[in-house]
Amino acid sequence: MSNNDLIVGLEIGTSKICVVVGETRPDGTLKILGVGQAPSRGVRKGEIVDFETAMKCVHEAVVDAEQKSDVMIRSVYVAVAGGHIQSFNNRGCVILPEERDEIDDQDVEDVKISAREVSIPAQNAFLHSIIQHYHVDGQDGVLNPIGMLGGKLEADFHIIHGVRTRIQNTIRCVKELPLEVEDVVFSALASAQVVLTQHQKNLGALVVDIGGGTTDYILYVDGAVKQSGALAIGGDHITNDISMGLRIPMARAEKLKTEEGSCVLGNCLPGETILLKDDSGFAGKEIERETLNTIIHLRLRETFELLKRTVEEEPFINYVGAGIFITGGCSLVNGIDHLAGEIFEMPAHVTHAQTLSGLTSAVENPQFSTAIGLLKYAQAVQVDRPRRGITRIFGRFFSGMR
Ligand SMILES: Nc1ncnc2c1ncn2[C@@H]1O[C@H](COP(=O)(O)OP(=O)(O)OP(=O)(O)O)[C@@H](O)[C@H]1O
Ligand SMILES: [Mg+2]
């Protein structure tokens, strides 16, 4: 296997660091060779808060991935998340010079730059400009304008941006190891590459990745990204609520949530309890099952209602035909699909990476959707790279870094 066939995805999550090593096959398919993991420390709500500690954890996960997949990792695609991620839609426009009437690569590049001529907060940097639709001399629905005749090229983009230094901190954390950063990708965009099919994107779908500290989302209508963002709220908030509400240690609360928890109400027998055995420094306790489920239900309900209010600021949710696709570790909460379906009033599904070969246990774990999604994203970008000049875009993050 040549090194060029290897792609590595890295997610520095709030709960875990995950490194997925994949191989592109000659037939274009992707095979997962190995997954490295380490518990995450020094990360809060998806953002690095203790650089040295986070770096050690990333190193641990990379070494684990190298051992599991039996390869040397030199470069990675990195996911970024956090409440600082914002997005908007904008149209760019390019008028061709009089002497030329055929649209070329440079016009496509220029129309993208034109769409970015919008003021974003001074401390922010562009992360993605995702093409929605091209228009040539007013003709809609153009898929690829290169080579077409026209005088005016317009294009609608979904543009994602975030606080430059926070993105740079993530990159630095990797570069100091030292590993090359191939690209940085918004985490929900990565997840969507493997949890949705093209057909679902065309029908309209909302992907919600609920991790430990963030809820990242991305919404597709007619195959194009229309909305995206991140809420600084996740499964760790549920654990915290359980710990506070039931007065038990955080580690006990986490175990209780993952092993016994559900967000379905009214499903328990009257007076049904769970016995927490005593342990060093903990006297043991009997917990009412309905109380546990109510705590989980209320926090998840609040999260989905906040997400609903956020996406309803624009009209696109009304055009989502395939429904909601929930992934990330928190999607494992029993009954979460019903709760999301009830709040959004549309079908909701719990999902993980689809259509990939290799380690089944990794593919089927929704906690790995983002890191696996990075591989699929990378594969698509590598095909496009010469045309889109991806390397040039990097300057925005790497400038000013030591
Ligand atoms: N079986 C389970 N039931 C309920 N929750 C679970 C289960 N397994 C994991 N979780 C929760 O999923 C969360 C971690 O998910 P994930 O690994 O996707 O997060 P992350 O990617 O590290 O964090 P983030 O993306 O928010 O920075 C934790 O809150 C954990 O408690
Ligand atoms: Mg995550």
Q: Which residues, in sequence order, are CB contacts of 158 under 8 Å at separation 6+?
A: 87, 88, 89, 128, 129, 130, 132, 224, 225, 226, 227, 228
Q: Of 340, 345, 10, whose CA–CA distance to 174 is shortest?
A: 10
Q: What is the spatial distance between Cα 367 and Cα 349, in angstroms, rounded to a whole number? A: 15
Calculate the CA 199 to chain-centre distance. Answer: 20
Tell which one of 14, 186, 369 to mutate to probe ligand 1, the residue whose CB is within 8 A of the most ligand atoms: 14
Q: Is the CB of 110 under 6 A from ligand 1?
A: no
Give which of 265, 257, 273 is closest to 332, Cα–Cα: 257
Query: CB of 258 closer than 6 A to ligand 1?
Result: yes
Distance (angstroms) between ligand 1 centre and the Cα of 146 equals 43
Ion ligand 2 residues within 5 Å by Cβ: 13, 211, 370
Q: Could you give the CA distance from residue 209 to residue 188 in angstroms, rounded to a whole number?
A: 6
pLDDT digits (tens, 9 = 90+) for 170-218: 999 999 999 999 999 999 999 999 999 999 999 999 999 999 999 999 9
Domain with CATH 3.30.1490.110 in the chain: 86-160
Sign of the Cα pseudo-torsion (246, 249, 252, 253, in order): positive
Question: Which tokens sit at 155?
Answer: 């294009």
* Residue from 20, 252, 330 whose mutation best tests the ligand 1 pocket (most atoms within 8 A of CB): 330
> Which two structure tokens, joined as six digits, stand for 14?
């709030």
Ligand 1 and 367: CB distance under 6 A? yes
Would the CB of 358 count as within 6 Å of ligand 1? Answer: no
247 phi-psi bin (left φ>0, alpha ψ -120 to 50, beta other): left
Task: Report the pLDDT value the prediction gives residue 254, as an integer from 0 to 100.
Answer: 97
Q: What does the alpha-carbon distance between residue 111 and residue 105 come to, in Å, rounded to a whole number?
A: 10
Q: What is the mean pLDDT of the chain?
A: 92
Mean pLDDT of 265-289: 88
**Choices 3.30.1490.110, 3.40.50.300, 3.90.226.10, 3.40.50.1820: CATH for 86-160:** 3.30.1490.110
83 lines ligand 1 (CB under 6 A): no
Report pTM.
0.93
Q: Measured in angstroms, how far is the CA atom of residue 51 from the centroid of ligand 2?
A: 18
Give the residues across from 77 on adjacent strands: 9, 183
CB-ligand 1 contact for 47 (6 Å cutoff): no
328 lines ligand 1 (CB under 6 A): yes
* 85 or 2, which is more confident: 85
Give me the amino acid identity at 276.
L
Question: Which carries the bigger pLDDT value, residue 363 or residue 266?
Answer: 266
pLDDT in tens, 80-126: 999 999 999 999 999 999 999 999 999 999 999 999 999 999 999 99
Q: In CATH, which of 3.30.450.90, 3.40.720.10, 3.30.70.100, 3.30.420.40 is domain 198-352?
A: 3.30.420.40
pLDDT tens sequence across 245-254: 999 999 999 9
Task: Name 380's Cβ contacts closer than 8 Å, sequence gap at least 6.
Answer: 193
- Which residues belong to CATH 3.30.420.40 in the chain? 198-352
Residue 45, ligand 1, Cβ within 6 A:
no
pLDDT band for position 384 (cuts 50, 70, 90): low
